[in-house]
Amino acid sequence: MKYTSTPAKAAKMYYSISEVSELTGVKPHVLRYWETEFPSLKPKKNRAGNRNYRLKDIKAILVIRDLLYKEKFTISGARKKLQEHYGNPDALMNQLNIPFADPQARQILVSIKKDLEELKNFIDTHEKEG
């Protein structure tokens, strides 16, 4: 069993689609689809064509996710709601009271959760033996 802590890194400028998927809980194919439906969601692409998401893109994804999944908007309804706010996901997030934590903090919490699950399994295994 390993007990490692994840060192806090400086906030990154760009995140890959897999990192954004893990941070937001939205599958990569859904993120790519949303790009076609929401004009405000346009991550930059590098020379290889890979998407590079910025924090503002991640915030927009969180707003879209919550509009669709929590508020039960349709795609067109969510698009209209975003347009009402001139593509400013920060204003909409404040209105909907959606918390947005530093993505690095989420990665640390995921790591801690994994370590705690490993510790629980270790204890459960040794209790059965003893």
> How sure is the predictor about 96, in pLDDT bands with cuts at 50, 70 and 90?
low
Are residues 63 and 52 part of one domain? yes
Q: Pairing mode, if any, of strands 44-45 and 51-52?
A: antiparallel
> Is 1 among the domain residues?
no
Rounded average pLDDT over 77-87? 77
Number of domain units in the chain: 2
Are residues 129 and 75 part of one domain? no
Are residues 116 and 57 part of one domain? no
List the domain range (segments joined by +) for residue 120.
Answer: 100-130
Higher pLDDT, 114 or 128: 114
In this predicted structure, what is the pLDDT of residue 72?
93
Rounded average pLDDT over 107-129? 81
> Is 21 among the domain residues?
yes
d(CA 16, CA 114): 22
pTM score of the predicted model = 0.59
Radius of gyration of the chain (CA): 18
> Is 10 among the domain residues?
no
Are residues 56 and 37 part of one domain? yes
Are residues 29 and 89 part of one domain? yes
Are residues 111 and 52 part of one domain? no
In this predicted structure, what is the pLDDT of residue 8?
41
Task: Please name the residue that has the structure tokens 């890979």.
Answer: 50
- The letter for the amino acid at 120 is K
> Is 11 among the domain residues?
no
> Is 2 among the domain residues?
no
3-state helix, strand, coil in the chain (%, to 5): 60, 5, 35
Are residues 109 and 67 part of one domain? no
Mean pLDDT estimate for the chain: 79
Hey, which bits of 13-119 come out as E strands? 44-45, 51-52
Packing angle, helices 28-37 and 55-65, rounded to 10: 90
Residues 6+ apart with CB under 8 A from 54: 13, 14, 15, 43, 44
Higher pLDDT, 69 or 5: 69
